[in-house]
Amino acid sequence: MAPEYAMEGLFSLKSDVYSFGVLLLEIISGRRNRSFRSLEYSNIIGYAWDLWDSGKAMELIDPSVVGSCYQNEALRCIHVAMLCVQDSAGDRPTMSSVVLMLESENATLPMPRQPTFTSTRSSRGVDVLKENQDVASSNDFSPVSPSVEGSAVCDRQGGHGGVLVVHLFAWIPPSLQICVVAAATVLGCKGGVVGVWATEDSDRIMGTKYSNHHSSSSSSVFSLYYTITLSLLPILSTSLDTITPTQPLTSNQTIVSAAAAFELGFFSPNNSDNWYLGIWYNQIPTKTIVWVANRDNPLSNSSSATLKINQDGNLVLADQSSQQNPIWSSNFTAASSNTVAQLLDDGNFVVRIENDDNPANYLYQSFDHPTDTLLPGMKLGWDSKTGLNRMLTSWKGTDDPSTGAYSFEMDVSGLPEIYLWNGKVIDYRSGPWNGLRFSGVPEMNTSDVLTFSFVTDANEVTYSFGVTDKSLYSRLIVNPSGVLQRYTWIETSRVWNLFWYAPDDQCDNYKECGVFGVCDTNNSPVCECLNGFEPRNQQAWDLRDGSEGCVRVSALECHNDGFLRLEDMKLPESSTAFVDRSMGRGECEKTCRENCSCTAYASADIRGGGSGCVIWSGDLEDMRQYAAAEGGQDLFVRVSAADSRGIGSKTKAVKTGKIAGITVGVVVLLLGLTIFILWKKKRKQRLLKEQTERRGTNKCTHIILKSTQSQFLSEGVRVSKRDFSGERSTTDDLELPLFDFKKLLWLYHNVSNFCVAISGYMAPEYAMDGHFSVKSDVFSFGVLVLEIVTGKKNRGFYSPNQQLNLLGHAWRLWREGKGLELLDPSVGEFYTVAEVLRCIQVGLLCVQERAEDRPTMSSVVLMLSSESASLSQPKNPGFCMLRHHGETDSSSSRQDESCTLNHVTVTMLDGR
């Protein structure tokens, strides 16, 4: 008995581990613990500990076998045994760990602590022993017959003499068998001794052999050994990876894959009375379920549940009330009487023919029936031979594994792509596979950590991913809120890290901008029409509802039409597209040009310059524009001849009416700017030199000040710009060249190494009422300041705990006196607190909701360049947008909602 049970009546699985440790010591030494007699020790555990502690462990081995065993295997067995018999149950390993330690020569074993029950004998005991001199030898046992029935079978192939008298089917790991066998010198019946043996191809114990050259007393020893081993088989079965017809899985047992990566057993979620059969990571402390068998048919009570192989070879889950109608079954039709179920190291639970490990011959595998999780090596998509469509479906809730509302599944019509469904409504589309990645997931690039695969042939259309390091855990899930999430396990911090998720922003919403509309998060509003198209509903478009899409301005003329080249695009929905993978680009264009119903074409595979052809007929839906650095691919859209003239390589819908005011009086403007620049040049250089010397490497402040002075020269020169972008703010060469109007409006495209590319936003009065002034540019500049300070874009920003954009987040932290928390961590320690706070305060002054509350640009320059300038306290910013993130809200409510910080809502916008 384990000490905690003997002393306090406490029993657990670790108590069985203790018993197993005693058994190992008895097998190795050839002595029983209870009848162990020594001049100094009352039991074998204390004797073994002293030998181990003094470095003399080999002296513990039975002298009759010590010459024929491997020293490292014997020492490992003793080491494991000492770990099993430690004082504290918490210090002892689990049985699965014991099996792993015994079968792996490279396993790192911790050092054991001194075990209990190691008391030495009193002097009186020693005297008694000396008087009696009745110390039993290692084979001094009374005969005990094996406690199993079996048929008598003659001799093993190869012949060692003797008869097989016991026939078993007890599955154990090969190294465990070798360890025990080596300690008793019985491997393969070497030397004709009594022993157990195993077939070379099955790694299972087949029986005991009685040698013709060994004493009957030795036979008794191994009969006893067999009796004890058989009594422990139910304990050992919890650490194995296989279920056999004679060894089912009960409710209090689990099986563990060979490398201990995954575990299968029964579990009950938090706050639930239901029980399920599932698979989870074995070596991760937080139980993370990756597969559930009976997700829609739970057990109400697990005490009588059994997972077993029935007569036709199927794996069935049943309890006392469902023996005739199983709760769950593998349900394959190829009946076989010699099947086994095995949990593999990749997390796949398979049913196969015994002794047939070929994956092509699996009768059932859990990878073909995923729940909410995609594991490395798992395939998502269609099997053309069987008609099986592998898809992910969400849990109904965090504590409810039953089938939820969301599914992530492959559509193989047209050019294959994957959709996220909310019931019968599409929420998100991945875009077609372009040879490297899905066109709607530009960040999906093969890395040093992850690899991606997409197979399209006559047998299957599937997507899968892999990990370059088998010790890395990564999984893709559909959570109950309808968000795709990829997690990776960080061993150092022992947490799951969110690696990627989708939908990520407004443009990930399905058909956000309708037909012939393009969504671009770098624009405000995000929706725009292609060149040659205009909004179908201008009023809804002005209110930032682009769902009705766009219509052509000029009718097509078939053979006289041109093609608009759009770069870095997410391709339109392609379920009705025509695909020919053998065509080249030239032939693809010719085919589309000659077919008057063709509205667009693109390459099916972008590798090697492009190959294959995809042709769309009819409306183009769910398109998205990415920045050049993000990726995407070229799309060629058919437009009328008039709309195709003068089009560059990258086209966006530009409303020329919005910039007409800039071109009026351009000569006068140039002269004014030239004079002003010359007048300000020396003063500016002096200011910048002083600030640079004082601030050292404080680049963000340097960028803000230079941008202020260069972009907004004076309130007297009223240059109203419609887009001011952080992409064009730089720490290098910010001087404005004279007589270069283009560069006066657009600064260079270098960005400092940590001030990320950012885009301007419209002021509230312009977005809502169409009113534009220099104060509108002040608003844009304020957004830019906050973006430079934080290193984050306003569009797509999600506050960790609040549903606010960057402006709302900055305002909240400012009011709470936590302004420094906004600063980009990559700045490090190279900043001055007062300067950072002044920049934030100026940024918040610039983005105030009312235009009249905002400072002029000359005041902004003064406030930024003067440490003694008195700054007023900012008021509520405009557009502190509430965002409904997929993790907390349903996808049906993902529209941005204008608000102020005190949650005053705008119910209707009316024209004047």
Residue numbers annotated as active site: 723
> What CA–CA distance (Å, rounded) separates 353 from 419?
36
Both tokens assigned to 278: 């599932």
> What CA–CA distance (Å, rounded) separates 756 from 728?
10
Q: Evaluate whether 294 touches 277 at the Cβ level (below 8 Å).
A: yes
Q: Evaluate whether 819 touches 829 at the Cβ level (below 8 Å).
A: no
> What CA–CA distance (Å, rounded) separates 122 from 452?
70
Closest CA relative to residue 877, chosen from 801, 799, 782: 782
Which class for 212: exposed (0-12), middle (13-18), buried (19 or more C-beta within 10 A)? exposed
> What CA–CA distance (Å, rounded) separates 83 from 87?
9
Q: Is the peptide bond before 525 cis (omega within 30 degrees of 0)?
A: yes
Q: Evaluate whether 242 touches 171 at the Cβ level (below 8 Å).
A: yes
810 membership: H or E segment, kind and range: helix 806-815
Supply φ then ψ for residue 560, to 5 degrees: -95, 0
Closest CA relative to residue 308, chosen from 251, 240, 248: 248
Which whole-number Å values give the CA distances from 780 to 458, 521, 776, 783, in the listed order?
54, 16, 7, 5
Which whole-number Å values give the CA distances from 32 to 137, 619, 666, in the listed order?
10, 84, 104
Which class for 782: exposed (0-12), middle (13-18), buried (19 or more C-beta within 10 A)? buried
Q: How many CA atoms lie within 13 Å of 555's alpha carbon, on the beta-carbon side? A: 1
Q: Evaluate whether 406 touches 478 at the Cβ level (below 8 Å).
A: yes
Q: Which residues are CB-contacts of 527 (< 8 A; sequence separation ≥ 6)?
A: 512, 513, 514, 517, 518, 519, 541, 544, 546
Ordered strands of the 364-365 beta sheet: 242-243, 339-343, 349-353, 364-365
Q: Evaluate whether 637 touches 566 at the Cβ level (below 8 Å).
A: yes
